[in-house]
Chains A and B, each alone.
Chain A
Amino acid sequence: MALSQRVGICAVAQTTFSPNRWEERVQGLVWDVVKSVKDAVGLGFEEGGIEASITVSDDLFDARTISDNAVTDVVGAHFRGEEKVAADGAQGVYYGVSTILSGHHDVVLLAGHCKESQAASRNQITHLAFDPFFTRPLGLDYLAAAALQAQAYLARSGVTEMQLADLVMRSRHWAARNPVAQEQSRITVEEILSAPMLADPIRASFMYPVSDGAIAMVLASEERARDLCDNPVWITGLGNSHDAFYLGERDLSRAKSLEEAAQRAYRMADIDTPGTAFDVVEIADQYAHQLPLYAEALGLCNDGAAWLREGGPDAQQVNHSGGMLAGNPLMLGGLARVAECVLQLQGKAGGRQVPQAHCAVAQGATGPAGQLQTVVVLENDL
């Protein structure tokens, strides 16, 4: 079913992403980006201003029950509404759109944060996503799950380690043109392939780096969006879907829940030919192998290995932000993808700008080996 009206993203702000923002609490990181988007649309939280806040964060990453309570003050929620989406930030966009389409709000602030550097390791957190009797005792965590997924995908697709290395170099190339990106320095094939193997076939260089940061956006109803900025970016399609929990009950060589999420979003956005529909594609590649795997599930190609060989990522303008391989914290992977699409569609992407971009797709993933997938389709007015 098509959306009853369009919801516009009027402003986005991102901190620079960094492996260790030790000098700021999350409150400071979030306030930076909230202030920026609030000023960009010229609104405060008074009557007629931003009506409600939606936050994205996670209690375990923050080591804090009710992690959103830490940012109540800086998201303007004193005596106002705030609701936390505890999943990848693209899910925050999904929920934010519903609060506007429902008629409940016209202007909503979305603000996400995550400091992966705070905990001893990310694996110790994601290990706790597994059930206490059948999977935790085996030492599973999201990295191990991703390695099983990578092995399955490489076996089916024939994507090679060299192709993964190319993707890492490509990420660095674009990240160098993205002022907020974390991993901007050049890296050689030798350096990539000599990085320690973490869990075959995932080397340290194929995994998104530890990252801290925050992102904020202002979402508005179609009518209000036009008042708040000259070139709002419209959300025209949304979809998400869950796969099964136990890894043995999924075909890890495919991303079924992403296929379903994409179908839902494309139906809404009236997109029949995803292979040619998008000028900008942003994929949450937490691991290098996920870029071709998810490209297949998004319908950008049928054969990920051939797609890589034939320059698919460049032809379809995938991850000009640098992607997650360049560094975004787990909770913000999809939200950073949406943010990049907005910047591209507003013509604000500087040295990585896709010329005459009109239609974009962003993807985000939550859970072990992308159990929950989210797809957002965005368009500008041309």
Chain B
Amino acid sequence: MAGPVFATDPEAQVSAVELDGLSVLFHAPSGMTHIVAAPAPQILDALRIGPADAGELLARLRAWYDFESDDEVADAVDARLEELEAAGLVRRA
């Protein structure tokens, strides 16, 4: 069953500065600053290809990365999307 489809803002709307392996994001639409850790920046990049549901998002990430362990990866993606949605960095398409 296909879950909700998520989208994110274009790159021009989000300034990112790398500090110590963390990303500091200035999100222009909200005027807010977020400090995010992996895999949040990678998820945002993957969603910039176009809106996707959690399954499609995971497939895009798999194409780019190996995962440390495959256990509960799907749950982790859901949890990350929920956080990013609450912060306003991704939205339901």
A binds B: no
Q: B residues engaging A (CB < 8 A)?
A: none
